[in-house]
Structure 1
Amino acid sequence: MPVPKRRGFVSRSLLRDDAYRAIRDAIVDGTLAPGERLSDGDLVEWLGVSRTPVREALARLEQAGLVRTKPGRYTIVSPLDVRAARAARSVTAAMHELAVREALPGLSAAELDAMRAANERFADALRRDDVEAAIAADDDFHGVLVTASANAAIRSVLEQFTPMLRRLERLRFSSLSGRRSVAQHERIIALCAAGDAEGAAAATRANWETLEPLLDALPDEP
């Protein structure tokens, strides 16, 4: 397994959540490619931690659909599973809708400004064809409402299912209408500013449904 060149860059006090995020991000950004075998030893050397947090991280990643494990034989980065991604999109859209409804009654002017700033960064990243920055800004945009909802269950569900969708976006971002997403973000902001929870929730669902053409373009697994 070719691991990233930076080794031992994480503190020895790395928690299992940090190990999970480090490996997850490497899968999402394509550093660890679909079908690639993952060695406990290589991951331990790369992260600078013991085998226990690595194994716990791999178990969580399997639940999230990002790795596949055959006990005693191998662990690989999961190939893209379109059916699983469709399910993840449905769950993710529903969670973001719920976040809008729960956040809106107490949404502050500062939080609306944070959404506007994130969308500006998103638009700028698209103009520069910077996929990584665009996805980070999109996360920031939706994250304002998730944080404002103060619902730990929403955050937990999104933590599990969003990485699969971000992986698809990173690999096939050119298939998405990015400019359309900028306009949809603006509509969500306007509806939130007007206090229209149902309208903002519907607009949020429509935004996540822009992934559907991307999923349609990928072959289902046999």
Structure 2
Amino acid sequence: MVLTNTKIKRKFIKDEAYDIISEQIIRGELMPKTRLRINDLSKDLGISRTPVREALLKLEDEGLVMTKANRWTMVAPINIKETLDIYPIISSLECLSLRLGFKRIDEKIIKKLEDVNEKIKLKSKEKDQLEILKLDEKFHKIIIDSSLNDEIYPIIEGLKRKVKRVEIYFFESHKDQFTTYEEHKKLIEYLKDKDFEKSINALRKNWVNTLDSLDEITEDIEVDSDEDLLPNN
């Protein structure tokens, strides 16, 4: 069996289309319930309809896109319940990572955590919430990587992708309700002291506080009814 360059190229185009569309959805450039027309997307991206269709199918599997057969395809509404359900799972997996990697967290790793956290402090002063979220992911990935378990991060990465749109949407509007820098600073102090229990509790508290903040923010949000699930023109 011989693999052709055409198949590789086609797969690359499909993945590129997926990356572009998903990024615009996650960043809010394509708003919830915005109608997605394959012909328009194909024209905008300068590619054929097939890779666009395949990209949309993948996005539908991930819950970022909704389709009504033979009627419409749209950006999915933001799913608050899904986010509130996912956060405790991420927290548990990160605590597992810290448990597995705690003995490997040395001065070099702590220095990396401190450097990232100071950048978070700087970006907090600049009110750059998108960059803060990226740095926060980088901070937590350092802890995850210390576990040396290659199976954990892909799972967390997939879960975080599902909640990123909610984080960007709500954190951007409620900048003053989040204390990421100070919570990270406490965790770093406990890691320096080699205090495992306090480190685990600090990491867990970081996630619990974020979950509580999101819960409070979403209390007044109206849930879409079936009739509301129609695409915007």
Q: Which of residues 98, 103, 106 is equivalent to 1:100?
A: 98
* Aligned position for 2:158: 160
Does the alignment pair 1:128 with 2:117? Answer: no
Deviations 1:172-200 (Å, cap 9, x if unpaired)? 22435466211110112222233333432
Amino acid at match of 2:25: I
8 Å CA contact retained: 1:35, 1:77 = yes
Amino acid at match of 1:211: L
Summarize the Cα distance change of 1:110–1:70 in structure 2 as closer, same or farther, 3 Å threshold: farther
Summarize the Cα distance change of 1:202–1:66 in structure 2 as closer, same or farther, 3 Å threshold: farther
Deviations 1:58-116 (Å, cap 9, x if unpaired)? 34433433222234333221112211111111222122212222222222422221111
* Aligned position for 2:216: 216
Amino acid at match of 1:113: K
TM-score by length of 1: 0.80
CA apart distance, 1:122: 0.9
* Aligned position for 1:172: 170
* Aligned position for 1:23: 21
**2:94 aligns to what SS in structure 1?**
helix
Summarize the Cα distance change of 1:178–1:69 in structure 2 as closer, same or farther, 3 Å threshold: same
Instruction: Map 1:41-190 to 2 at 5 A.
Output: 41-47=39-45, 51=49, 53-173=51-171, 174-175=173-174, 177=176, 180-190=179-189
Does the alignment pair 1:204 with 2:200? Answer: no
* Aligned position for 2:12: 14
CA distance in 1, matches of 2:13, 2:188: 36
8 Å CA contact retained: 1:82, 1:220 = no
Larger Rg: 1 or 2?
Answer: 2
Summarize the Cα distance change of 1:202–1:44 in structure 2 as closer, same or farther, 3 Å threshold: farther
CA distance in 1, matches of 2:81, 2:192: 36
Structure 1's unaligned 5+ residue stretches are: 1-10
CA distance in 1, matches of 2:196, 2:13: 38
CA distance in 1, matches of 2:40, 2:186: 46
Which segment drifts farther, 40-49 or 150-159?
A: 40-49
Q: Alpha carbon RMSD of aligned pairs, Å?
A: 2.7
Amino acid at match of 1:175: H
Deviations 1:16-50 (Å, cap 9, x if unpaired)? 55544433322221111111122334444445555
CA distance in 2, matches of 1:181, 1:111: 19
Equivalent residue pairs, number: 212
Percent of aligned pairs sharing the same letter: 29
Structure 2's unaligned 5+ residue stretches are: 1-8, 226-233
